[in-house]
Amino acid sequence: MCMTTATALSRYADLPALIGLMEGDEKHMGAAHSTLDVVWVLYDRVLAVTPATAEDPARDRFLLSKGHGPAAFYAVLAAKGFVDVAALRGWTAFDSPLGHHPDRVLVPGVEIGSGSLGHGLPLGLGSALGLRAQGVRRPDGAAPRVVVLLGDGELDEGSNHEAIAVAGRLGVDNLTAVVVDNASSTHGWPGGVAARFAGEGWAAREVAGRDHDALHEALTRPHTGRPLAVVARVRTR
Amino acid sequence: MRETFAATVSEAMDRDPRVAVVLAAISAGMFRSAAARHPGRVVDVGIREQAMIGVAGGLALTGMRPIVHSYAPFLVERPFEQVKLDFAHQDVGAVLVSIGGSYDASEEGRTHQAPGDVALLDTLPGWTVHVPGHPDEARAALESAIPGDDRVYVRLSETSNRAPRPVDGRLSAVRTGSPRSAGVVVAVGPMLDRVLEATADLDVTVAHTSTVRPFDRAGLSALVGAAGNADVLVVEPYLAGTSAHEVAAALVDRRHRQLGLGVARDRELRAYGAPAQHARAHGLDAEGIAEAARGFFLA
């Protein structure tokens, strides 16, 4: 990892410039990425994982299930030192580790390869069950968290609903689903996305998806005995 | 073989804390006592096969060794994209154990039959495929697979040979033909006894393996080299010709002929009845194999 550039470009305000290294146009970056704020809050204030602990069995895990548009994710990984900033420039090139869909084998800190929708939540559920079965504990004594980021459009995939039902019924409380809701589901979710999770036994919270303090509060308030769903409402400009 | 599977896995769970079982309702009763002894290590997701595979991939990501089990069509075909992406693409492994084979569930009909399972897994990299021909072979295959981290498919069926053979990944001669023999017959897993019966009056080498992937190309090359003709008949209990590309690769250095027997590719058999009747309909009983062998070797 290139620590000099990582420390130079390590703030939230640097994310548009980092995204610009990939997408080449800085003017409207940031706002165009529905996941930018929630991914930043997770890595900056919620998840117990650093480049030094990226392989630690007791780390918190972030699974980007909605693999589309990963520039915001790569930018946060670069700002936090998981990915060399210089690598961003060559993204999507033949020999770049950074493609339009992330590959865990190629990118340090990426927990799953994603792109085909509906795989992240079942994988996250299995990871949470595996950590629970093995009794893994973080240094602070807490169970490692598994946080899966999905989109409301991605929820169209039935595999998510299989995992939502199982996680709720098994009370997998080290699992968190963050659903970035930009109203892109083809047929919508009458009654709201949160109700789909609440009905299956999850603690479900809705929050403004650009409000960092609100995101932090929703992601960290206790939810004992149940998995947590945080629906982050975002209007993509 | 299903009982052998449950017993072998339950014993492995007692020894190895990495081992976890993932089920989708089917066979859940057989793991009830293992589940009670090992809380959290038997996960029954209910009738949700996509989640079954995804959960297994997630368990493997945390260092566990998932053993995933259902009827072949619900284990391999229904969640095939999960099999593709949630194991190899994530660079993790699992042991997938199916029951039903091609037509054990003959009375249930097409929905419970998956003769294409091995061919489908052939489209993915890195799968070891065991097709045990005896319960002892099933136990040996599982005991070799469980300690690893790789991707293994164990295809169990109700059809069994009278005696077990070694599970060592090799193609080994059970009956050796003369130096002027007509060629080599490869019997996969439970096909061995009927192949021996069907070819009793032919001068051919009969070889057996219960591990079809990776295929023992060197072993086939050597057996064919010792035979009188480079003619190879492969008898597989799943889709006909599934291993044709392996035979072609093994014999790429010489002129050869090959024929693959197995479940018909060109039609759906709309019939119930007994597995033996399906074997007969596909030409996989001793009589059908004998007729095909005579036609191929004596032509």
Residue-level pLDDT at A7: 57
The pLDDT tens digits for B1-55 are 999 999 999 999 999 999 999 999 999 999 999 999 999 999 999 999 999 999 9
Closest chain B residue to A159, measured at CA: B50
Name every chain B residue with its beta carbon within 8 A of the beta carbon of A127.
58-59, 61-62
Residue-level pLDDT at A6: 46
In a domain, A107, yes or no: yes
In a domain, A76, yes or no: no
Q: Mean per-residue pLDDT for B56-84?
A: 98
Residue B168: DSSP 8-state: S
What's the distance, CA B169 to chain centroid? 12
Tokens 């420039």: give the residue. A89
Tokens for B236, please give them: 């597989």
- CA dist B5 and B117 (Å) reads 19
In a domain, B263, yes or no: yes
In a domain, B163, yes or no: no
**Whole-complex ipTM:** 0.96
In a domain, B96, yes or no: yes
In a domain, A12, yes or no: no
Residue-level pLDDT at A1: 44
In a domain, B162, yes or no: no
Name every chain A residue with its beta carbon within 8 A of the beta carbon of B64.
130, 133-134
- CA dist B247 and B259 (Å) reads 10
Specify whether the CB–CB gap between A58 and A144 falls below 8 A: yes
What range defines the domain where residue A176 resides? Answer: 34-68+102-233
Q: What is the CATH number of the domain that holds B228?
A: 3.40.50.920
Q: How many domains does chain A have?
A: 1
Residue-level pLDDT at A46: 98
The pLDDT tens digits for B232-285 are 999 999 999 999 999 999 999 999 999 999 999 999 999 999 999 999 999 999
Q: What is the CATH number of the domain that holds B74?
A: 3.40.50.970
Q: Mean per-residue pLDDT for B69-89?
A: 98
Is the same domain home to B204 and B142? no
Render each residue's pLDDT in chain A as its tens digit; 237 residues. 444 444 589 999 999 999 999 988 655 555 568 899 999 999 999 999 999 999 999 999 999 999 777 999 999 999 999 999 999 999 999 999 999 999 999 999 999 999 999 999 999 999 999 999 999 999 999 999 999 999 999 999 999 999 999 999 999 999 999 999 999 999 999 999 999 999 999 999 999 999 999 999 999 999 999 999 999 999 865
Is the same domain home to B62 and B182? no
Pick from A105, A123, A134: CB nearest B54: A123
**Residue B117: CA count within 13 A, CB half-sphere:** 36
- Residue A180, judged by CB atoms within 10 A of its CB (0-12, 13-18, 19+), counts as buried
Q: Does B51 contact A at CB distance below 8 Å? A: yes
Is the same domain home to B18 and B137? yes
Pick from A124, A134, A162: CB nearest B58: A124
Is the same domain home to B8 and B144? yes
pLDDT at B206 over 80: yes
What range defines the domain where residue B236 resides? Answer: 172-297
Ramachandran class of B187: left when φ > 0, alpha when ψ lies in -120 to 50, beta otherwise: beta
Is the same domain home to B177 and B150? no
Q: Is the preceding peptide bond at A51 cis, omega within 30 degrees of 0?
A: no
CA B51 → CA A152, B40, B68, B171, B262, distances in Å? Answer: 19, 16, 11, 36, 32
**Residue A190: CA count within 13 A, CB half-sphere:** 1
Is the same domain home to B149 and B32? yes
The pLDDT tens digits for B274-297 are 999 999 999 999 999 999 999 999
Alpha carbon of B65: minimum distance to chain A alpha carbons (Å): 10
In a domain, A197, yes or no: yes
Q: What is the CATH number of the domain that holds A110?
A: 3.40.50.970
Is the same domain home to B138 and B255? no
- Domain end point (choices B129, B155, B181): B155
Contact A130 B64 (CB under 8 A): yes
In a domain, B161, yes or no: no
CA B220 → CA B5, B164, B171, B207, distances in Å? Answer: 29, 21, 7, 9
Pick from A105, A121, A130: CB nearest B62: A130
In a domain, B82, yes or no: yes
Specify whether the CB–CB gap between A145 and A44 falls below 8 A: no
Is the same domain home to B8 and B48? yes
For residue B220, give the amino acid letter. L
- CA dist B288 and B264 (Å) reads 13
What's chain B's average pLDDT?
Answer: 97
| Torsion of the alpha carbons at A179, A185, A190 and A192, rounded to the nearest 10 | 10
In a domain, A92, yes or no: no
Residue-level pLDDT at A69: 79
| Torsion of the alpha carbons at A101, A104, A109 and A115, rounded to the nearest 10 | 30
> Can you spell out the DSSP letters for B46-93?
-S-HHHHHHHHHHHHHTT-EEEEEEEHIIIIITTHHHHHHTTGGGT--
In a domain, B48, yes or no: yes
Question: What is the spatial order of strands in the sheet that B19-23 belongs to?
Answer: B42-44, B19-23, B65-71, B94-99, B151-155, B127-130, B211-213
Whole-model pTM: value is 0.96
Closest chain B residue to A133, measured at CA: B40
**Interface list for B 83-102 with A (CB within 8 A):** 85-86, 89-91
Q: How many domains does chain B have?
A: 2
pLDDT at B118 over 60: yes
Alpha carbon of A154: minimum distance to chain B alpha carbons (Å): 15
Name every chain B residue with its beta carbon within 8 A of the beta carbon of A177.
none
The pLDDT tens digits for B126-169 are 999 999 999 999 999 999 999 999 999 999 999 999 999 999 99
Is the same domain home to B207 and B132? no
**b/e code B185-213 from CB counts within 10 Å (16+ = b):** bbbbbbbbbbbbebbeebebbbbbbbbbb
CA-based diameter of chain B, in Å? 61
Name every chain B residue with its beta carbon within 8 A of the beta carbon of A113.
85, 89-90
Name every chain B residue with its beta carbon within 8 A of the beta carbon of A116.
81, 85
Residue-level pLDDT at A2: 47
Residue-level pLDDT at A116: 96
Specify whether the CB–CB gap between A82 and A108 falls below 8 A: yes
